[in-house]
Amino acid sequence: MENERTLRWRNQLHFQAGVVSREQARDAGFTGKAIDWRLRSGSWQRLHQGAYATFTGVPPRNARLWAIVLSVGPGVALSHETAAELHGLIDQPISQIHISVAAGRQPGRHQRLPGVTIHRVRHLVPEWQPPWHLPRTTVEDTVLDLIAAARTFDDAYGWIAQAIGRQLTSPPSLRTALVARKRMRWRSWIKAAIEDSADGVHSPLERNYVHGVERAHRLPTAQRQAKRRHGSGNRYLDNLYGYGVCVELDGAAAHPAEGRWKDTHRDNANLVQGTETLRYGWPDATVHRCRTALEVAALLRRHGWKGTLRPCSPTCPAAKGSAAMTEDEA
């Protein structure tokens, strides 16, 4: 019958993807000479200082992550895109590995960590994980870290929409995490963006449509992500108006694989019986947003809407109606 030390060793090998620290090997009964002999013979391989793969061949992704965590030691958390990978916030890992440590630590001073980006954080609170799970920042802190590193606010909003759209967190949890951060770029915008995402605005493209087309021109408010039965499954319509009009927004960011249907139509099409659908992309929701508002308004009026467009600027075509569209926009 296996003793407790042997059982712990086997569990470490299993849960840590075959990677162990020197201290763990010593605790399991290996002497320093025995460890060094295995490294020289090639039956083990050194991945980072004090972290070894107990197998030959190319280490898989999880083994590489464990090697970094074990080498840096207690208090480290995988963060940014690497934490996003573990949480399911992104589908494909990036090659660079990100870790966060307390502000006073400098794990790269005495050893090289190629392929690793180190972030020093004043108040690091990793998400609670069992000992056999890779330590990581919480979903909420991961999203805020990625927002802080984003190049544009559209990129930042994409992280919020992705996390909420995939039900990895909730708007209240994100708001709480945001309050706890003393320094945060785009703070007021992020607060508004969290509310937008809570209302079903699930991509930067959809947000550009809502703010630049619908609200800027005082169109009626659509139902976001309207669930409709279609055949044997469900369809989620980006913007369903109460007049039998639907606005769909095309693009990779607007149509993640989860819960979407494959749509190969490039022209306007009826996606739901009794509903007339307009389809738009990035230029329509940004550069040509006024023209888009006129088109949506015209279709809504044909379906019974009695409202009036509000010009978004003195030069907006909505000020004079569709006849004011410039030749370049037409």
**147 and 240, same domain (yes or no):** no
The dihedral region occupied by 17, where left means phi > 0, alpha psi between -120 and 50, and beta the remainder, is left
Q: Is residue 127 a contact partner of residue 137, using CB atoms and an 8 Å limit?
A: yes
Higher-pLDDT residue of 40 and 4 is 40
Average pLDDT over residues 96-125: 87
Query: What are the pLDDT digits (tens) for 188-245?
Result: 999 999 999 999 998 999 999 999 999 999 999 999 998 887 666 778 899 999 899 9
Average pLDDT over residues 134-148: 97
**148 and 208, same domain (yes or no):** no
pLDDT at 180: 93
CA separation for the pair 92, 330 (Å, rounded): 40
**180 and 273, same domain (yes or no):** no
pLDDT at 272: 57
Query: What are the pLDDT digits (tens) for 298-320?
Result: 999 999 999 999 999 999 987 76
pLDDT at 193: 95
Question: Which range among 73-77, 149-153, 249-253, 291-295 shows the weakest confidence by mean pLDDT?
Answer: 249-253
| Residue numbers of the domain that contains 243 | 204-324
**250 and 218, same domain (yes or no):** yes
The pTM for the full model equals: 0.82
The answer to the question of residue 208 being in a domain is: yes
Query: What are the pLDDT digits (tens) for 247-280?
Result: 999 854 344 433 333 333 333 445 556 789 999 9
Number of residues written out for the chain: 330
**253 and 294, same domain (yes or no):** yes
The total number of structural domains in the chain stands at 3
pLDDT at 257: 37
The answer to the question of residue 261 being in a domain is: yes
**192 and 208, same domain (yes or no):** no
Tokens encoding 221 = 């408010």
CA separation for the pair 232, 263 (Å, rounded): 16
**235 and 305, same domain (yes or no):** yes
Is 50 exceeded by the pLDDT of residue 154? yes
**160 and 212, same domain (yes or no):** no
